[in-house]
Structure 1
Amino acid sequence: MSLSRSDYVDLAGGNTAAHRHLSDEAFLRQILRFERELATAAGSADVLDDTQVAAAHATIDGFDLDVDAIAAASASGANPAIPIVKALKAVDATGIHPGATSQDAIDTALVLCLKEAGEPLLTQLAEVQKILVELAETHRDTKMIGRTLGQQATPTTFGAVAAGWLEGTTAATADLADALLDLPVQYGGATGTLAATHPHGLEIQARLAAQLRLRPTPIVWHTNRYPLIRVATALAAVAGAVRKIAGDVVWLSATEIGELREASPGGSSAMPHKANPAAAVACDGYARRTPALAATMLDAMDSRHQRGVGSWHAEWPTIRELAAATASAVARIHASLNGITVDGQAMARNLEYAATGDQSTGHAGELVDAVLHNWKEEQHS
């Protein structure tokens, strides 16, 4: 299966486990999955008989998905579900797409892409959190100079810094997990009234949701884009949380500071002495793109009447790009933190020459303990 947009962008992230579910091919295959499960649900509700369901399944299973051909054929109707359904109906005119509209297929396909990509993304976020827990525990009392507005401030501990990273990442991860878990099925028909399959429409919708393990919803969300907005903003928040860590790693890895060093720093084509925090830099690059992508999703909430005009169409590549960029940012911060060297001697040296004469870290240790306690409680809840 092809990657999302370009081999470089995805492969340079270092982990394509999420990206494989966000490609154009994956998106179109989820449309086919929707159509197959819809036929099953319609059969369970006695809208289609067993023969019709079997014929629909055979037609869908035998469909030769040509991504380039579907993309070209989508131009006339402005969405890829139309040529797919047309091709399927040319083989089986009775059991394909019962009571559905193209938006049902596309929205549900997007939801399924996001949920499947979300699994490896959440798994890697959990791994990042475990690294941060270890750093916070190990360096609970490792003193270092604090820095505010780019200037030396008063002392803190590296454990407190790592605990702050952990707290932000954990909160953003929890919001994303909740948003993905709450994603609904889309099945409403032409204007969202389920008229074509009345009086069985709501039953089909509920069965379809159960089969796809999505949330059923009595109100069709053709023009209520909040389910996707919630995921989009959560993805951008995750990217922002890991970008904060990346920025600190880059700063603390500077030659003059030398308090951190990535396990596999990057080199330079012109300066062989350099040990660049390349993974943190790449994390920043991926994460930096996400606010604008999330803003596009927010702009697309302007869905007029019963079908978005351009706004809906803007969502399909945008939210997949947003998920992919976030996944790459998380993969790069994991690479940056995994095996990172914390130079306590450099921290002590920089603290010794700090502008402040105060060596107290106050309640830093207790704050670390509180963050770690809360994190462990959440893992067991």
Structure 2
Amino acid sequence: MISPFDGEITAGLYGDAEVAAFFSGEAEVRAMLHVEGAIAAVEADLGIIPETAGRAIKAAAGSVTIPAASLAAGFASAGVPVSALVKEFRSQLAPDVGQWLHWGATSQDVVDTGLVLRLGGVLDLLDARLAELIAALGLAAATHRDTVIAARTRFQMATPTTLGAKIAVWTAPLVRHRARLAELRRRLMQVSFAGASGTNAALQGRGGEVVEGLAAALGLGATPVPWHAARDTMLELGSWFALVTGSLGKIGADLILLGQSEIGEVTAGTGGGSSTMPHKANPVVPEALVALSRVTAGNLGTLAQAMIHAEERDGTALGVEWFTLPSMAVAAGSALRHGIALAGTLKAHPDRIARTFAGDRGMMMAEAAVFALAEEMPRPEAQALVTAAVKAAGREGTLAEALAAAAPGRDWPRLLDPARGVGDAPQIADAAGR
């Protein structure tokens, strides 16, 4: 079954070619060969295998060609691709060299360490996109620092805010996600090398040396306890993907609501047309952000099942991880790519914002009216007076008119100007991206 992430028709919206490339068969084979070459070189340096064999395997690992499709039958038989990879690689080496290939290793060592190497590239790419998005949103927040709009709580008018403050709220989690990623990488980027069942028994007490050597050779960390059956860092990574897509899904949802035909206060992107309604400009990209977020949240629950990794190796848990983690990475990449595009096309529409304020008739300034009156009377009395004024205004009158009748002698139009009711919103906008 073709997923929306790699479908010929749907990948342009839901997929991400740059991220997906790290999960291609070619990339997986290349990473596994790189690991096999590093194992041989390190073991040769340590005198575990002959130096000439180690050098030959290392050199061949960088030049040998093994088509990913050639491993399919072996994977179907063994449930992992490494047995077939080693067989094919060994066939291309001299017999006296090939016998030292994969010495003391097991398939999962090569699969997991190869995966970590590929994930490092994925995270480099996503971190760069996050930085670009944060910068673009910071610029948008500064541009709209003083653009007064209506805040809405529970889908109802609340009080005034500024678009810049709203954008700052969008941006703050993204800054935290970059910090989380830096912390996560230290735990994730670790060599996995533990042999047949996690003890490196075949290396006769030298497993720790090989692990340390591999870590140095591959630019990874080394843990004293093997992690092949403890998948917490993979779930942590999946959680990070869900956090990123979730934060972007919130932006998408806000843009959908703000851009509705009857509101139209803020738009981003070009919009998509209808096959039959010429007037439509559907919020296709914001919708995609919401969809990507929801799918990734669902996949996170599935990925959590891989934590139940029975004993020293569990093919069912590995299969769950292989199904879910790549699609979550692609979804995060796609969401970030769309977020950058939206941030660069964000527009406020002052005429529609003014229409919203006119239609509200000053009601969103009711809280401000209460506090203005509370300077001269107990707050409960002020609350009751403003509540009565709201009712007296009905569906046609303005709050300023009703308050002028109930509490005369004040410049209610000036006191109820939405621009006076934004509080710290401009200063919040100034903090976007920090």
Q: TM-score, normalised by structure 1?
A: 0.91
Within the candidate set 293, 300, 303, 2:306 is matched to: 300
Report if aligned partners of 1:182, 1:214 keep a CA contact under 8 Å in 2.
no
1:151 aligned partner: 156
Report if aligned partners of 1:14, 1:331 keep a CA contact under 8 Å in 2.
no
Within the candidate set 116, 140, 154, 1:111 is matched to: 116
Matched, 1:215 2:221: yes
Distance in structure 1 (CA, Å) of the matches to 2:76 and 2:364: 68
Shift in Å, 1:173: 3.1
Report if aligned partners of 1:297, 1:319 keep a CA contact under 8 Å in 2.
yes
Within the candidate set 185, 189, 207, 2:191 is matched to: 185
Matched position secondary structure for 1:12: helix
Distance in structure 1 (CA, Å) of the matches to 2:155 and 2:89: 61
**Alignment size in residue pairs:** 371
1:41 aligned partner: 42
Shift in Å, 1:64: 2.8
Summarize the Cα distance change of 1:79–1:357 in structure 2 as closer, same or farther, 3 Å threshold: closer
- What is the correspondence of 1:200-239 to structure 2 with a 5 Å cutoff? 200-239=206-245
Distance in structure 1 (CA, Å) of the matches to 2:146 and 2:425: 8
Partner AA of 1:298 in structure 2: A
Q: For each residue in 1:252-273, what CA deviation from the matched residue of structure 2 results, as whole angstroms up to 9, or x when unmatched? A: 1111111122242222221222
Summarize the Cα distance change of 1:122–1:105 in structure 2 as closer, same or farther, 3 Å threshold: same
Bigger mean CA deviation after superposition, 283-292 or 342-351: 342-351
Partner AA of 2:121 in structure 1: E
Q: For each residue in 1:203-224, what CA deviation from the matched residue of structure 2 results, as whole angstroms up to 9, or x when unmatched? A: 2111211222221111100111
Shift in Å, 1:59: 4.1
Q: For each residue in 1:280-337, what CA deviation from the matched residue of structure 2 results, as whole angstroms up to 9, or x when unmatched? A: 1222222221012211221111111111240122212311111011111111222222
Matched, 1:138 2:199: no
Matched, 1:273 2:279: yes
Within the candidate set 249, 255, 260, 1:249 is matched to: 255
Distance in structure 2 (CA, Å) of the matches to 1:259 and 1:299: 43
Matched position secondary structure for 1:269: coil
Distance in structure 2 (CA, Å) of the matches to 1:292 and 1:215: 31
Within the candidate set 121, 126, 131, 1:121 is matched to: 126
Report if aligned partners of 1:124, 1:331 keep a CA contact under 8 Å in 2.
yes
Shift in Å, 1:194: 1.6
Distance in structure 2 (CA, Å) of the matches to 1:203 and 1:101: 17
Report if aligned partners of 1:260, 1:343 keep a CA contact under 8 Å in 2.
yes
Within the candidate set 168, 174, 179, 2:179 is matched to: 174
Report if aligned partners of 1:42, 1:48 keep a CA contact under 8 Å in 2.
yes
Distance in structure 2 (CA, Å) of the matches to 1:353 and 1:314: 52
Partner AA of 1:67 in structure 2: A
Shift in Å, 1:199: 3.0
Report if aligned partners of 1:155, 1:361 keep a CA contact under 8 Å in 2.
yes
Tell me the C-alpha RMSD between the 2 structures. Answer: 2.0
Name the % identity.
32
1:379 aligned partner: none
Q: TM-score, normalised by structure 2?
A: 0.80
Within the candidate set 413, 418, 423, 1:362 is matched to: 423
Summarize the Cα distance change of 1:4–1:115 in structure 2 as closer, same or farther, 3 Å threshold: farther
Distance in structure 1 (CA, Å) of the matches to 2:41 and 2:9: 39
